[in-house]
Amino acid sequence: MDIYAKEGTKVIYTGENGYDHDREHADKYLTKDAVYTVDNTDVEGWHTSVYLKEFPEIAFNSVHFEEALVTKFTKEQIEKRLMDMLYEMLSDYNQEDGIISVEYIEGSHECTVKMNVNIVEEDDYVGFGSY
């Protein structure tokens, strides 16, 4: 990550790099591959501390983070991508139906996505043929 990252920059906790004690400290608070928001950084000669909005009083080593790629999509683009993922999942597992629901959180840039796939085991599948 950029050690001079501005407030609001999105970063991903990698759980990698640095000293074991730094990772153990970070693992107490952070989830690997989760996205966090930079509050500020404290750049010193050989070490940079990162303070996150989610944990403003706790310093983390900057080497544990990479900058998150933030891409903006419209609601329609999100729903289309999710439907494409669902259809791919269904075809990969030879399934017949599934449901996606997307709930947008009012006043934020977040949504909750629920996917439901009805699993049909090969032994349980009933097929119809013509003679």
Same domain assignment for residues 27 and 62: yes
- How far apart CA 105 and CA 81 sit, in angstroms, is 19
Number of domains in the chain: 2
* pLDDT number for residue 21: 93
pLDDT in tens, 14-71: 999 989 999 999 999 999 989 999 999 999 988 999 999 999 999 999 999 999 987 7
pLDDT of the residue at 128: 41
Residues 107 and 79 in one domain: yes
The answer as to whether 17 is a domain residue is yes
Instruction: State whether 34 and 80 are in the same domain.
Output: no
pLDDT for the residue numbered 75: 78
Same domain for 95 and 57: no
- For residue 131, is it within any domain? no
105 vs 28: CA distance, rounded Å: 28
2 in any annotated domain: no
CA distances from 46 to 33, 49, 60, 87, 130 (A): 25, 10, 14, 49, 74
Distance of alpha carbon 10 from alpha carbon 65, whole angstroms: 10
What's the pLDDT at 113? Answer: 75
With cut-offs at 50, 70 and 90, classify the pLDDT of residue 118: low
Nearest CA to 31 among 18, 12, 48?
12
Residue 126 reports pLDDT greater than 50? no
Sheet strands side by side (includes 55-61)? 55-61, 48-52, 35-43, 10-13, 65-67
| Residue predicted with more confidence, 100 or 11 | 11
Q: Are 14 and 27 in contact (CB under 8 A)?
A: no
State residue 111's pLDDT score.
Answer: 74
What is the pLDDT confidence band of residue 129, given thresholds at 50, 70 and 90?
very low
97: domain range?
Answer: 75-123
Is residue 89 domain-shared with residue 117, that is, in the same domain? yes
14 and 59 in a single domain? The answer is: yes
Angle at 115 between CA 112 and CA 120, to 5 degrees: 170
pLDDT by residue (tens digit) across 68-114?
987 777 778 888 888 787 777 777 666 666 677 777 777 776 777 77
* Mean pLDDT confidence for 117-121: 63
